[in-house]
Structure 1
């Protein structure tokens, strides 16, 4: 991972349908790598061809944490579609991530 690393599937990448996600991490720690792997799997399973992931490494660029008011890492920010959403952690709970991103609506 570099300080700004984009993952962008090729198919169905129409501008109006793109989910822009920003993942803040602190180096290539096991937690950071796990969060990225979990996010990539959720995106491939539920947003195939309609997402962009930007990874920001706060070890290399700590000043970038101010823009999205990052207080813990890893943190995922959904930039688009609006409204902006924030999820903190390794994203291991797929259902929580799907509900947090409004990909699935909780029915309970």
Structure 2
């Protein structure tokens, strides 16, 4: 990730997104982007590595988890989800298995799972 998001900014964005979604509103795109990137940053800090790529288009992607490193093309282990699902997973509001079963997470590869890493503690 290009820019580190400080804890206060990340938590504020996350609180704003949660409040907006709880009241049925759509959060501002910039605030949603900051919250997503902050949680991806926390995942990178918790599980540094290069064997799994977590994508939350269009806001960010991060490579995490120790293991074989890929250098070109599509990585062998990819996880992709939308912003609100990522926030729910990362904060523990939704379980990994439930999101996968519902089709809100696409995971490919033998290492493409975040069960033991979520929730994060923002």
Greater strand proportion: 1
> TM > 0.5 between the two?
no
Higher relative contact order (CA 8 A, sep 6+): 1
- Pick the TM interval, shorter chain: 0.3 to 0.5
Greater helix proportion: 2
Structure showing greater Rg:
2
TM-score (norm 1): 0.36
